[in-house]
A and B are shown apart, each in its own frame.
Chain A
Amino acid sequence: MRRFEYLRAASIDQAIERLSFDPGAKLLAGGTNLVDLMKYDVACPTTIIDINDLPLGDIKETSDGGLRIGALVTNSDLAFHPVIENRYPLLASAILAGASAQLRNAATVAGNLLQRTRCSYFYDVMTPCNKRTPGSGCPARNGLNRNHAILGASQDCVATHPSDMCVALAAIGTMIVVQGPNGARSISLADFHRLPGDTPEQDTTLRNNEIILGIELPPAPEFQRYSYLKIRDRLSYAFALVSAAALLTIDDGVISTAHVALGGVAHKPWRDTAAEVVLVGRPASRGNFHQFASMLLSRSEALSQNGFKIELARRTVVRALEQAASRTPQSQSDKRVH
């Protein structure tokens, strides 16, 4: 770990001010990812701004019937919040599919949004990695890439985003509320995480001098059907090979809305609203789900070891949609996939 100066922000403005003139500063909330990366010398902030005293820990209903969730709400508090359990069960389910109870007790909403990839080259400072050290190369492309991206990858980076929570947020359609020196702005989740391109060191569109205040969920439609299905190498406490978050509304057997996001397949939660349109107005049938899944994955590309993820993702999407349609969402403790 590199040595750093530790500051405790007393106000949001103070934190932003420091970020504005100190390029080596990083914000610390739960620390579950940042401290981990600091221990591996992957993250080397010279200043740590602890934001745990900031008033960003509330969950409030918004005037339009949606929900505003503070950046510092822990993953556990969010997953077990009655409003989340009742109206956004997809989000609760996805959060509970990730990490462990201990990590969820410390990890926050903002920290989860800013979680960095789990690519083992990125984590190992003795190997090249364009994301960690721009221009050094990507050994994963011709190396161990079994769990790397099948969508949206670039020549420079084939890493995936590891979050479960963000996959659900992508499906729900979430706004990220951030504040910088010039005031607040909102970024849609779809625009928040980026594809690697030739600047894989940038995970998100958050600017260096901005702080996440919280997220805003749209009102939850009634009678929404959902499922979060995560496929991984062991049955718990592992990052996704592939995961799918599905939200459906069905009237008289006909799909009226369909939101589907994929995790573990790209540098960001993967969603394709154009493909979703295909499902609208059609019966909730396996055939339609399959056709949709094929469209969603039509631009997927395999590396040397991860070709299986394309078919696995297709099947996972179909199953998640079936589970949602039949109102039998995947349980995160009963490991049998329904």
Chain B
Amino acid sequence: MEVRANTALHVTLTINGVERKASIEPCVTLLDLLREKFDLTGTKKGCDHGQCGACTVLINGKRINSCLVLAVSRDGSEITTIEGIGTANELHPLQDAFVRHDALQCGYCTPGQICSAIGLISEGKAKTRDEIREAMSGNLCRCGAYIGIVDAIEEVIAAPRRKTVR
């Protein structure tokens, strides 16, 4: 059997605003690059096949399953992971809402849920509970925290509007 040379390729990604370079084989997924090489373990591996959403990150602002992305293929992209969202002192409104609505239990799917919800809000398509539910169905949660998740997202979507009403 022929084993192809493991040619390392250079990639440059802007991750959470910081330019990161790596020399990697083309078979490395963005998810494994983040977790194993950059130690950004907030992005989770739940199925490795695009069927659970735990690995969701924002690539150039769009929510995408990082497990199905060959990292070399996204050379030059801007990536936002959960580590780039909120700080210990100031949580992102979605993070804060997730905590208040107890939209998590084990917490493993949570970073993916939050990245996905940020993508959902910027898409601007989902407004009603039904629409949020459907648009968040790419993020599985075995602890079953869906009701809290929808509550949290609904609240954050409604928040700016509420302010303008006042």
* Direct touching of A and B (C-beta under 8 Å): yes
Check B50–A48 contact: CB distance below 8 A: no
A50 to B56 alpha-carbon distance, docked (Å)? 22
Neighbour of A105 across the interface among B6, B27, B63, B72, CB < 8 A: B63
Counting chain B residues whose Cβ lies within 8 A of the other chain, the interface size class is: 35 or more
Tell me which of B80-88, B94-102, B134-142 binds A.
B134-142
Tell me which of B33-41, B115-123, B152-160 binds A.
B115-123
Check A101–B50 contact: CB distance below 8 A: no
- Asked if B151 is at the interface (CB within 8 A of a chain A CB), the reply is no
Check B27–A3 contact: CB distance below 8 A: yes
Check A39–B48 contact: CB distance below 8 A: yes
Distance in Å: Cβ of A23 to nearest Cβ of chain B: 13
Check B50–A3 contact: CB distance below 8 A: no
Contacts of A205 in B (CB 8 A): none
Check B4–A333 contact: CB distance below 8 A: no
Check A28–B70 contact: CB distance below 8 A: yes
A333 to B137 alpha-carbon distance, docked (Å)? 10
Check A3–B6 contact: CB distance below 8 A: yes
Check B70–A5 contact: CB distance below 8 A: no
Contacts of B68 in A (CB 8 A): 31-32, 35-36, 103, 106
Check B53–A100 contact: CB distance below 8 A: yes
Check B4–A102 contact: CB distance below 8 A: no
Contacts of A103 in B (CB 8 A): 50, 65, 68, 138
Task: Identify which of residues 8-57 in chain A touch chain B, using a CB-to-CB cut-off of 8 Å.
Answer: 28, 31-32, 35-36, 39-40, 46, 48, 50, 52
Check B138–A35 contact: CB distance below 8 A: no
- What total count of A-B pairs have CB within 8 Å? 107
Distance in Å: Cβ of A278 to nearest Cβ of chain B: 35
Given A31-B68, A101-B138: A50 and B73 interface contact (C-beta under 8 Å): yes
Check A102–B9 contact: CB distance below 8 A: no
Distance in Å: Cβ of A249 to nearest Cβ of chain B: 28
Counting chain A residues whose Cβ lies within 8 A of the other chain, the interface size class is: 20 to 34
- Asked if A237 is at the interface (CB within 8 A of a chain B CB), the reply is yes
B24-65: CB near A (< 8 Å → 1, else 0) gives 011101000000000000000000111101001000001111
Neighbour of B7 across the interface among A5, A106, A333, A335, CB < 8 A: A5
Distance in Å: Cβ of A18 to nearest Cβ of chain B: 15
- Asked if A80 is at the interface (CB within 8 A of a chain B CB), the reply is yes
- Asked if A223 is at the interface (CB within 8 A of a chain B CB), the reply is no
Check A36–B50 contact: CB distance below 8 A: yes
Given A31-B69, A103-B138, A333-B133: A48 and B26 interface contact (C-beta under 8 Å): yes
- Asked if B106 is at the interface (CB within 8 A of a chain A CB), the reply is no
Check A333–B128 contact: CB distance below 8 A: yes
Neighbour of A39 across the interface among B49, B53, B120, B138, CB < 8 A: B49
* A32-B50, A100-B53 given; 5 more Cβ-contact pairs under 8 Å: A3-B27, A6-B9, A39-B49, A48-B26, A103-B50
Top 7 closest A-B pairs, CB basis? A100-B138, A6-B26, A236-B137, A333-B134, A3-B4, A333-B131, A105-B62
B residues within 8 Å of A by Cβ?
2-7, 9, 25-27, 29, 48-51, 53, 56, 62-65, 68-70, 72-73, 116, 119-120, 123, 125-126, 128, 130-131, 133-140
